[in-house]
Amino acid sequence: MYPAPIDHYDRPGTIEEAVAAIAAGGDAALFLAGGQSVMQAMKSRLLQPSRLVDLQAVAALKGVRTDADGSVVIGAMTRYVELTAESRLGSAYAALSDAAAHVGDRQVRNRGTIGGSLCWNYIAACMPAVALGLGAALHLVSAEGSRTLSADDFLRGPLETAKKDGELLVSVALPRPPPRTGSAYRKWALLSDGLPVIGACVLVSTDAAGICSTARVAFGGLASGPRRSHRAEGLLHGSRSGDVERIEAAMAAAVEELETQSDLWADADYRKQLIRTLGSEVAGSAFGRATGEG
Distance CA 196, CA 99 (A): 11
Measuring CA to CA, which residue among 97, 92, 96, 224 is closest to residue 159? 224
- 71-121 pLDDT, tens digit per residue, is 999 999 999 999 998 999 999 999 999 999 998 878 888 889 999 999 999
- 194-232 pLDDT, tens digit per residue, is 889 999 999 999 999 999 999 999 999 999 999 999 999
Measuring CA to CA, which residue among 91, 92, 94 is closest to residue 83? 94
User: Hey, which residues does 89 pair with through a beta bridge?
Assistant: none
- 236-257 pLDDT, tens digit per residue, is 999 988 899 999 999 999 999 9
**Tell me, what's the pLDDT at 109?**
87
- Please tell me whether the overall predicted TM-score, pTM, comes out greater than 0.85 for this model: yes
- Radius of gyration, CA atoms only, the chain: 19
**Tell me, what's the pLDDT at 1?**
65
Domains of the chain: 8-54 (3.30.43.10), 59-174 (3.30.465.10), 181-288 (3.30.390.50)
Q: 269 vs 9, 24, 261, 274, 280, CA distance in Å? A: 46, 48, 8, 9, 17
* Residue bearing the bigger pLDDT, 69 or 3: 69
Contact 144, 168 (CB under 8 A): no
Measuring CA to CA, which residue among 137, 140, 127, 142 is closest to residue 169? 140
**Tell me, what's the pLDDT at 294?**
66
Helix (H) or strand (E) holding 234: helix 230-236
Q: Residue 36: pLDDT band by 50, 70, 90 thresholds? A: confident
